[in-house]
Amino acid sequence: MRDIYTRVFGRLGAHELSILLAFLGLAAGVWVFAAIADEVSEGDAQKIDARILLSFRHPGDLSPIGTPGIQDAVRDVTALGGVTVLTLLTAIAAGFLFLEGRKHMAAFVVASVLGGFLISILLKDFFQRPRPDLVPHGAYVSNTSFPSGHSMLSAITYLTLGALLARSERRKSLKAYWMLLAGFITFAVGVSRVYLGVHWPTDVLAGWTAGATWALVCWLLARRLQTRQAIEAE
């Protein structure tokens, strides 16, 4: 009996702590998103949103701060969170996994990103928040504002792929590199949306939160499927 307890608690210490932290992260993500959505729905976030948005603009003509070169660079950054780039990136990653013999993992990656895209559409249709009208838009937009689709899909795609790359490495420094790089790109894309005037800051914050939460759900599901050998192990 003592050996059974030792094995059980040994597994809990070695593996289940990370799962417990992941579930706590999920709960925190849902709570934060709900809090942001409540503030937005009641209009309480409008003042701080406007203040931050205008901080990226010249007071006189409301043009973006920075040189034309910087503005072009920001548009390049925001394209990293666009549907075209993320679709290509996901296809490249899935193709690599498929050719490596990890067909089920390839399908899982595609399903994770596609699922996040559908959730983003549903959330936008539900909240129906108008785009910012305080400043001229620096990029083309065609749908509603909350949450930021670029921010959400960037978090889903880059964090998911970053986690896959990190788990394939043995050196901790390389694991940290992939995750920090994924986080940095996600952050940069979100900030670019506010700079271009196409999103309120709370749109971006909600997009980051929803995207990271969905990526965490996918990570937990992947672990579960790997234990059942439904998808290939790392």
For residue 171, what pLDDT is reported?
83
| Residue 219 CB coordination number (10 Å) | 20
Residue-wise pLDDT tens digits, 32-85: 888 888 888 888 888 899 999 999 998 888 888 888 999 999 999 999 999 999
For residue 74, what pLDDT is reported?
94
DSSP annotation of 131 reads P
Q: Which of 96-110, 116-130, 134-148, 209-223 has the highest mean pLDDT?
A: 116-130
For residue 169, what pLDDT is reported?
72
pLDDT above 70 (res 129): yes
pLDDT above 90 (res 134): no
Residue-wise pLDDT tens digits, 203-212: 999 999 999 9
Between 50 and 8, the more confident residue is 50
Could you tell me which of 193, 170, 182 has the C-alpha nearest to residue 215? Answer: 182
pLDDT above 90 (res 101): no
pLDDT band at 14 (very low <50, low <70, confident <90, very high): very low
For residue 8, what pLDDT is reported?
44
For residue 23, what pLDDT is reported?
67
How confident is the prediction for the chain on average, in pLDDT? Answer: 84
Between 13 and 123, the more confident residue is 123
Measured N-to-C along each axis, helices 17-42 and 201-227 cross at an angle, to the nearest 10 degrees, of: 150
pLDDT above 80 (res 137): yes
pLDDT above 70 (res 125): yes
Between 220 and 187, the more confident residue is 187
For residue 195, what pLDDT is reported?
93
Can you tell me the mean pLDDT for 6-14?
A: 47
For residue 148, what pLDDT is reported?
92
- DSSP bridge pairs for 57: 64
Taking CB atoms within 8 Å and a gap of at least 24, the contacts of 18-26 are 19/220, 19/223, 22/216, 22/219, 22/220, 23/220, 25/213, 25/216, 26/213, 26/216, 26/217, 26/220
Measured CA angle at 88 (ends 86, 94), to 5 deg: 100
